Amino acid sequence: MTYAKGLEGIVAAETKVGHVDGEKGQLIYRGYWAKDLAIHYSFEEVAHLIWHNSLPNSTELAGLEEQMKNERDLPSYILTIMDHLPNNTEMMSVLRTCISALGDSTYSWPPTIDQAIRLTSITPTIIAYWFRKQNGLEYIKPNQNLDHVANYMYMITGEIPSENSVKALSAYFILTIEHGMNASTFSSRVVSSTESDMVSAICAAIGAMKGPLHGGAPSGVIEMLEEIGSEDNIETWVRTKLESGEKIMGFGHRVYKTHDPRAEALKVVSEQIAGSDDWFKLILQIEKETLKLLNEYKPGREIYTNVEYFAAAVMKSINLSAELFTPTFTASRMVGWTAHVLEQSEDNRIYRPQSNYIGFIPEIGK
């Protein structure tokens, strides 16, 4: 048997949902470039693609949008659960608890697309309710006139978001819908492979996402952007960091050895917005100057901007609190997780890897 610590490099499933190629800088959703989807399509359109293996026509899109809007409201018992949780409970723990509580008998095996839509639609409402409760603010119910992403922002802030803000966050949502067999996706498929229900599989995924090695927020990038503050400070700040041997946050990636396609897409959206937004003008200039200096100080290393850089820029542009970064990531990834759970059920085999025992073996007969 082959041993690979952390299962790194081991193929554990075949999938049509998505494909990540870090060497080539490719991210594909159901045969489409994720970058193109993020720039040209809505979150609902891409969710339909992920769940149904096709982009929707106008009738299908309208039906999905309506169904998602109808599934946003929180049941009274979920409100009761949250009202009885300690106010200092971490957001991801609250989300895991509430999703678990949704798992009644209607979520039996096999999983369905309706279940996926329900879980995806209600997740932003849970996040928004708990965020406002923790901050002593009144709960804002979903706005049925807004799409999935705009409604999420509205429930958090209480204000109708600007077109630019919705465009930026929608691109982020689309680019984090799916990313191959990562820890949380694998967790969801392992649980689903036992013929457990979709809610149980998604709770496992949330538990994995909660870990800082997987769902960690790009807070370091935001701190960097805030410290730089203006174009006049860029070169001095970056040179100081590089000459002291410090890492520049938001550049380089473990998987992508060339351009991160998610960062490229968010950059395009940032450039589209920059004409009317000084913040995006600044982050584009910081990226340009930083890449130039990285090439000067580390020639031949080919370090590229990663998705965390532009994700942080998007989050800060809409004043999204740092505590909401990982939950927001989770709200988008709910589509990918549920698609993998559905795919697992279509050709199921329980996951049962082996382990190498390296402990003491007693002598026979003693």
308 is catalytic: yes
> With the C-alpha atoms ordered 308, 313, 318, 321, is the resulting torsion angle positive or negative?
positive
Give backbone dihedrals phi and psi of 120, rounded to 5 degrees, phi first.
Answer: -65, -40
Provide the residue type at 126 as one letter.
I
The pLDDT value recorded for residue 5 is: 83
Going by the DSSP 8-state scheme, the letter that residue 30 receives in this structure is T
- All CATH 1.10.580.10 domain ranges in the chain, comma separated: 13-216+322-346
Give yes or no for a contact between 202 and 338, defined as CB atoms under 8 angstroms apart: yes
* Residue-wise pLDDT tens digits, 130-159: 999 999 999 999 999 999 999 999 999 999
**In terms of residues, how long is the chain?**
366
Going by the DSSP 8-state scheme, the letter that residue 5 receives in this structure is G
19 is catalytic: no
Going by the DSSP 8-state scheme, the letter that residue 233 receives in this structure is G
The pLDDT value recorded for residue 276 is: 64
Catalytic residue among 44, 178, 308, 343: 308
> Per-residue confidence of the chain (366 residues) as pLDDT tens digits?
788 888 888 888 999 999 988 888 889 999 999 999 999 999 999 999 999 999 999 999 999 999 999 999 999 999 999 999 999 999 999 999 999 999 988 888 999 999 999 999 999 999 999 999 999 999 999 999 999 999 999 999 999 999 988 999 999 999 999 998 999 999 999 999 999 999 999 999 999 999 887 776 666 788 888 899 899 999 999 999 999 988 888 887 766 677 788 888 888 887 887 666 778 888 889 999 999 999 898 888 888 888 888 888 888 878 888 889 999 999 999 999 999 999 999 999 999 988 888 899 998 876
Instruction: Give the helix, strand, coil percentages of the chain, each rounded to 5.
Output: 60, 5, 35
Give yes or no for a contact between 253 and 19, defined as CB atoms under 8 angstroms apart: no
**Integer Cα distance of 36 and 29 in angstroms:** 10
Helix (H, G, I), strand (E, B) or coil at 67: helix
SS (H, E, C) 32-59: EEHHHHHHHCCHHHHHHHHHHCCCCCHH
The pLDDT value recorded for residue 275 is: 66
**Integer Cα distance of 140 and 159 in angstroms:** 10
The pLDDT value recorded for residue 217 is: 61
Helix (H, G, I), strand (E, B) or coil at 204: helix
Q: Which CATH architecture does the domain made up of 219-317 adopt?
A: Orthogonal Bundle (1.10)
The pLDDT value recorded for residue 218 is: 65
Give yes or no for a contact between 153 and 165, defined as CB atoms under 8 angstroms apart: yes
Superfamily of the domain at 13-216+322-346: Citrate Synthase, domain 1 (1.10.580.10)
Distance in angstroms between the alpha carbons of the first and the last residue of the chain:
29
**Integer Cα distance of 315 and 348 in angstroms:** 38
Catalytic residue among 179, 253, 259, 340: 253
- Residue in the structure block whose two tokens are 């050709």: 347
Going by the DSSP 8-state scheme, the letter that residue 251 receives in this structure is B
Encoding tokens for residue 304? 């590229």
- Alpha helices (H) along 53-197: 58-70, 76-84, 91-101, 113-134, 148-157, 163-175, 183-193
- All CATH 1.10.230.10 domain ranges in the chain, comma separated: 219-317
**Integer Cα distance of 208 and 185 in angstroms:** 9
* Residue-wise pLDDT tens digits, 19-47: 988 888 889 999 999 999 999 999 999 99
